[in-house]
A and B are shown apart, each in its own frame.
Chain A
Amino acid sequence: MSTIYILWLRQVKRYLRSRSRIIGSLAQPLLFLVALGFGFGPIFQKAGEGNYIDFLVPGVIAMSILFTSMFTGIEIIWDRQFGFLKETLVAPVSRLHIMIGRTLGGATVAIIQGIIIFLLSFFVGFRPYSLPLLPLAFIFMFLIAIIFTALGTAIASKLEDMQGFQLIMNFIIMPTFFLSGALFPLKEIPKILEIIVKFNPLAYGVDSIRGTLVNSSYFGLQTDVSVLIFLAIVLLSLGSYLFNKIQI
Chain B
Amino acid sequence: MANLNTDAIKSRTFDAIVIGSGMSGGWAAKELTGKGLKTLVLERGREVKHVVDYPTAQLHPWELPNRGQMRYGVNEANPVVSKCYAFGEATEQFFVKDAEHPYVQEKPFDWIRGYQTGGKSLLWARQTQRWSAFDFEGPARDGFAVDWPIRYDDLAPWYSYVEKFAGISGNRDGLPQLPDGEFLPPHEMNCVEQYFSESMAKAYGGARPIIIGRCAHITKPEPIHLEQGRSRCAQRTLCERGCPLGGYFSSNASTLPWAAKTGKMTLRPHSVVHSIIYDEKKQKAVGVRVIDSNTKEMEEYFAKIIFVNAAALNTNLILLNSTSNRFPNGLGNDSGLLGKFVAFHNYRAGINAEYEGYLDKTTEGKRPNSAYIPRFRNLLKQETDFLRGYAAGFGAYRGQSDNRSGWGEDLKTGILKPKLDDHWGVGSHMMGETIPKESNYVALDKDQRDPWGIPQLRISVDYDENDVKMTKDFFEQMTEMYTKAGFKNIRTYDSNRTPGLDIHEMGGVRMGRDPKTSLLNGWNQLHQCKNVFVTDGACMTSTSTQNPSLTYMAFTARAADYAVSELKKKNL
Do the two shown chains form a genuine complex with each other?
A: no
Query: Which residues of A line the B interface, CB within 8 A?
Result: none
